[in-house]
Amino acid sequence: MMNTNLQDYSHKRYNILTGEWVLVSPHRAKRPWQGQNEAIANENRPLYDPSCYLCAGNTRINGENNPDYKDVFVFTNDFAALQKDSPKFSVNEGLLRAESEQGICKVICFSPDHSKSLADMAVADIHKVVSTWQKEYLTLGSNEMINYVQIFENKGAVMGCSNPHPHGQIWSQSTLPNEVYKKNEHQKAYYKNNNRSLLEDYLKQELKADERILYQNDSFVVLTPFWAVWPFETMIIPKKHHRHIAEISEEESLGFADAISKITRAYDHLFQCSFPYSSGIHQAPTNNDLNSHWHWHMSFYPPLLRSASVKKFMVGYEMFGSPQRDITAEQAADRLRELIVL
């Protein structure tokens, strides 16, 4: 049983993957739940939108035509943040430092159906998305220039997503981005000292405690991490120590699709809305190292706090100090667990 002080008094929790702390203030959330569960009028989107640049058959801004795709469709981002052919250079002038960065950015349409999100899709169709992620990780990763592949989704206008068509992105680049760099260092140190994966051991402890587990199938666990920052943040972790998404079996990838389906549906039920979030997969770099310390996982960072219309802002103390939350990871887990439909 966990120390009850964690549910009563201000404290900070350590993120074993990044080495950062989150301030938790459970006393502020002691008041009974006042979340408004009013149903937000779900915008009824059409199956096809002639003005959507991701719908099948439509013309994108750069003049290319999308094919008449039937399930998943991937293309190179027309407005990529990273350039494939940028020259290699570095700037070292006194205290001013810069490095060139090369990369390839792709867009992945999850479905031709403009009205759907992952939460509305059948597990078999989410499985096709998973297979595409695996393929892209391997293909992009095999490129000599690419040392890291970041798969992510921004869902909802509140997350800055400019198009409601179900889609995600894959940015691949020559160096490790900040979050991955931190996780790489912490997993490497743990593996060196214990000869086991950090998340494998964390998962064992979480399954034993059974306080933050939302759902599990044969291959995956969905949980609220002990150090969650966002009010309803969750993680999907493979039970077996795999370094990256392409290492899992066909059966496991179906289990992954099932886990994604379960958590995204629970999210939609939480505030009766198409739940916004940023989700992403962190996995082994595609450099030439063995990367045995890596245990890949997917995280969901949703911005909503109390209802579909109350957003959590990272401002003030959180900008200048540390992230802070009121409801504890355990309270969030209790609410989400009830909404998992088996």
Task: Retrieve residue 298's tokens.
Answer: 């997917």
Give the contact letters, 16-55, x = binds to Zn ion (CB under 5 A), - = no.
---------------------------------x--x-xx
User: Given 127, 167, 186, 293, which residue is catalytic?
Assistant: 167
β-pair type (90-93, 96-99): antiparallel
Q: Which is nearer to Zn ion, 25 or 115 (CB)?
A: 115
CA 46, 48, 49, 54 dihedral sign is positive
Per CB under 5 A, the segment of 94-102, 128-136, 157-165, 327-335 that binds Zn ion is 157-165
**Residue 114 interacting with Zn ion (CB under 5 A):** yes
Which residues have CB under 8 Å from 92's CB, separation 6+? Answer: none
**Cβ closest to Zn ion, residue 49 vs residue 326:** 49
Q: Is 165 in the site for Zn ion (CB under 5 A)?
A: yes
Strands 213-216 and 220-223: antiparallel
Q: Which is nearer to Zn ion, 54 or 259 (CB)?
A: 54
The CB-of-52 to Zn ion minimum distance in angstroms stands at 3
Nearer to Zn ion, 165 or 262 (CB): 165
Residue 114 annotated to the active site: no
Tell me how long the chain is.
342
Ranges within 50-69 binding Zn ion (CB under 5 A): 52, 54-55
CB atoms within 10 A of CB 159: 16
By Cβ distance, which residue is nearest to Zn ion? 52
Amino acid identity of residue 307, one-letter, is: S
Where do the DSSP E strands lie in 19-87?
Answer: 21-24, 73-76
Phi then psi dihedrals of residue 117, to 5 deg? -130, 175
Task: Quote the DSSP letter at residue 327.
Answer: S
Q: Are the CB atoms for 238 and 296 separated by under 8 Å? A: yes
| Shortest spacing between CB 156 and Zn ion, in angstroms | 15
Specify the stretch interacting with Zn ion by CB under 5 A; choose among 12-20, 114-122, 187-195, 221-229: 114-122
User: Among all residues, which ones are annotated catalytic?
Assistant: 167
Q: Site residues (CB under 5 A) for Zn ion? A: 49, 52, 54-55, 114, 165
